[in-house]
Chains A and B, each alone.
Chain A
Amino acid sequence: MMKIGNLIFGYNNYAIQIAKNIQSKYDNLLIFKFESDEVRTELEEFDIEIFDLSDEWNELKEIYNMQKSIAFCVLEDDAQNIFLTISLRAEFPDLTIIALSRNKESANKISMAGANKVIPLIQTTASIIVDMLDKPIVTDALHSILYEENDLKVAEIEIQQHSYFEGKYPSDVEWSNEHGIIVLSVIDKEGHSEFIYSSKAKHHTIQNGDVFVVIGYEKDIEKFEKLIGGIVCQ
């Protein structure tokens, strides 16, 4: 059986941080380095593979299920990172690629090259700094939801028993009082996300197949999920 791989392209501080953050949860972590990169002690514990930008990735194809694998392109040089992204995308149309870019300009290019998610380093760092200064409470709250190991979760729940709501509109249901959760938005069948209080969501009766984005404690989400029998995706 083919493995699901977490492939990190780049042998630098970004790779160290990504590897450290995901190693506890994910197996099959493989870090790719150029032959010229000097050995780093912090990365010694991980599997290292040597690559160059002209690779055709034949070995990867054989070992990993590239449809389910994730590649992190975190080379420090934007041009190299774009080249790497484009060459991976050309070879693996279904691979999830997360790429790093220095700024918004190269973020656009790297998106065009086929990355699923781009992290523009300068903008992301700056936004975090500004949020920390302007909205410290919000930043802390979101940080704890995102990064800390607590019971608070964000989940997508699909409604399968709409009769429970008796044709109510989403904004009319007392979500927090009755179910202990907060519904942020409704995703319709076309995949469009609408804020719970937006005009469109207000005029849409709850139906089977609607997906709600909710925030709540794990137990409350589970309880709610049992009640309306949906698929939970965290």
Chain B
Amino acid sequence: MLNSLIVEGAYFLSTSKKYQTTKLFFYNLLENNNYKYRKYFDIFMITLILISVIILVREVKYHIDDFFLYFNNYIISIIFLIEYILRLWVISSVSKTIIERSEQDSMLNKKFNLFLALKIIVKEKLQYMLSVRAIIDLLAIIPFFHQLRFLRIFILFRVFKLFRYTRSFKKFISVLSIKKFEFLTLLMLASIIVFVSSILMYIVEANNINSSIDTLYKAFYWSIVTISTVGYGDITPITYEGRLVAIGVIIAGIAVFSFTTSIIVSAFTEKFDEIKETKNIDDLKKLQEFYIICGYESIAQEVATQLIKKNNLIILDDDNARVKQAQKDGFTALNYNTGSVESYHKLHINMNKQVKAVLCLNETDVANVYTALTIRSFNKDIFILSLLMQNRNRKKLTFAGVNEMVYSKELVGLIAKEFVGKPVAFEVIHALRSQYNNINIEELIVTQRIVKSFSTVDDLKNSEYRLILLGLYQKEENKFLFNPKGSIFLQEGDYLVLIGNIVFIQEYEKYLKIKKK
């Protein structure tokens, strides 16, 4: 009866949308580094900890207002307690374990073993509770029992708790952890030197009545102070032999100190690229819209240089030398394989919302087909533009899901044709495209705001801003109207194609947005 009730309850929880959404929210808030609101939670907790520590430090010598004590001992502690319980809750799923166990038992035609399920649940929860961070969390709650004065020292654990919310510290530890073996070896070496030198020092100095090193503890203290190159000088050897030992420890100290420094530096050098990559990805998440350029060869270099003027972009290439070149050119570039789904997942971005388009600019069709197909395998909607190097591969790129292709050889053919056939048009349009004499051709979207103030083409008064209205693109009919008649009505989503000085175009855009009837 109890068993079936528990299983029913587990099914209810695992299918309850409200419960799952709530749990996911708390999981993201507490454990997911990529969750956008996580940093606000971290800042809130850091503030609480700092308040708590300030109160403690102040309390040592001065009287503290009761309100602050109450706030520190109850409010903050209760918040920490809630956080601890929430973490314990989200770290594993009780209902999932029960369901898994019950389904497994029913498959084997056995009666549901509640005890076994509970054992697994307790094991999972205990595993978390016994982790260092969970222990620190728990100890940080203890000042709640402020009546027990000796427990007040546990407030220090609140300081340790700070590390949970500071990601740079975690990064620092993770960087150093790659040199664990080296640090351990160095520690062993330093321990042996300290051990041997303190015994030696004790033996040679302890019986000398003028020497301050008269206990093994003092010899040990001296040894630590000396090897660490701190050298207070409060206790010093006075015998000839003692000073000889001191020379040895001093030299060893320099060696240990410099080794430690070099290990830390080399750890950072090795991890530098990774740290930079993480930083780039973090920055990327904050961007609203950007382009992904796959491949960084000559055309991609030029495209990136032109695109970056008005847009954000990121370059992915599996060739390290090209990535380095892109970084040197000032772009955000990652050494990722563009033909691997994993590469795009690692970016932690919302492809549909954040990415304007993916540009496959590798200078081989094989690489572009592979990249396009990889992206299409997990995203059907994103706009993909690709270079086409050989005309015979056009169909393959279309099949791979490329929306638009640019075949440079065809461009040369068209340009040649125009240059021969329509030299005037060619020169004029080329001049417009390259902003000759600051005269530019721009498109302006007709927004709802513009439609409200300017209902027809006649209302636009573009000539007052010394602008030519070349045409109107009508979204609904998907038609470009050259030199539109004044009586034509504007509609939201249409585009105005204007020619003129770029400064006037910008001014005109402001005028259109500001003017009201």
Query: A146: CB under 8 A from chain B?
Result: yes
Query: A108: CB under 8 A from chain B?
Result: no
Question: Which stretch in A46-54, A59-67, A119-127 binds the other chain?
Answer: A119-127
Query: A205: CB under 8 A from chain B?
Result: no
CA distance A213 to B428 in the complex (A): 8
Query: A135: CB under 8 A from chain B?
Result: yes
The chain A residue with its CB closest to the CB of B445 is: A137
Other-chain residue from B357, B412, B486 in contact with A100 (beta carbon distance below 8 A):
B412
Query: A181: CB under 8 A from chain B?
Result: yes
In the complex, the answer to whether A123 meets B302 with C-beta atoms within 8 Å is: yes
Q: Which A residues, 178 to 195, have Cβ-Cβ distances below 8 Å to chain B?
A: 180-182, 184-185, 193, 195
A127 surroundings in chain B (CB, below 8 A): 306, 433-434
The chain A residue with its CB closest to the CB of B412 is: A14
List A residues at the B interface (Cβ < 8 Å).
6, 13-14, 16-18, 20-22, 25-26, 70, 72, 74, 98, 100, 102-103, 117, 119, 121-138, 140-142, 144-147, 152-156, 171, 176-177, 180-182, 184-185, 193, 195-198, 213, 215-217, 233-234
CB contact under 8 A between A141 and B497, given known A126-B303, A133-B357, A216-B483: yes
28 contacts between A and B (CB under 8 A): A14-B413, A22-B416, A22-B420, A119-B415, A121-B412, A122-B299, A122-B301, A123-B302, A126-B303, A127-B306, A129-B303, A130-B303, A133-B311, A134-B311, A135-B442, A137-B495, A140-B480, A144-B480, A146-B426, A146-B429, A147-B417, A147-B418, A153-B425, A154-B422, A181-B483, A196-B468, A213-B424, A234-B424
Other-chain residue from A119, A180, A234 in contact with B422 (beta carbon distance below 8 A):
A234
In the complex, the answer to whether B499 meets A184 with C-beta atoms within 8 Å is: yes
Query: B253: CB under 8 A from chain A?
Result: no
**Supplied contacts A74-B412, A130-B307, 18 more A-B pairs, CB within 8 Å:** A17-B410, A17-B412, A17-B414, A18-B413, A18-B416, A20-B413, A102-B298, A122-B298, A125-B299, A125-B387, A127-B434, A129-B361, A129-B385, A136-B443, A155-B424, A184-B428, A213-B424, A215-B428
Count residues of B near A (Cβ-Cβ below 8 Å): 68
B414 surroundings in chain A (CB, below 8 A): 17, 21, 146-147
The chain B residue with its CB closest to the CB of A146 is: B418
B473 surroundings in chain A (CB, below 8 A): 137, 140-141
A102 surroundings in chain B (CB, below 8 A): 298
The chain A residue with its CB closest to the CB of B413 is: A17
Could you give, for residues 230-250 of chain B, a 1 whenever the CB lies within 8 Å of some chain A CB and a 0 otherwise? 000000000000000000000
CA distance A119 to B414 in the complex (A): 11
CB distance from A23 to the nearest CB of B (A): 10
B406 surroundings in chain A (CB, below 8 A): 125, 128-129, 132
CB distance from B416 to the nearest CB of A (A): 4
In the complex, the answer to whether A197 meets B480 with C-beta atoms within 8 Å is: no
Q: Which B residues, 472 to 502, have Cβ-Cβ distances below 8 Å to chain A?
A: 473, 480, 482-483, 486, 495, 497, 499-501
B419 surroundings in chain A (CB, below 8 A): 98, 117
CB distance from A157 to the nearest CB of B (A): 10
CB distance from A123 to the nearest CB of B (A): 6
Query: B408: CB under 8 A from chain A?
Result: yes
CA distance A155 to B463 in the complex (A): 22
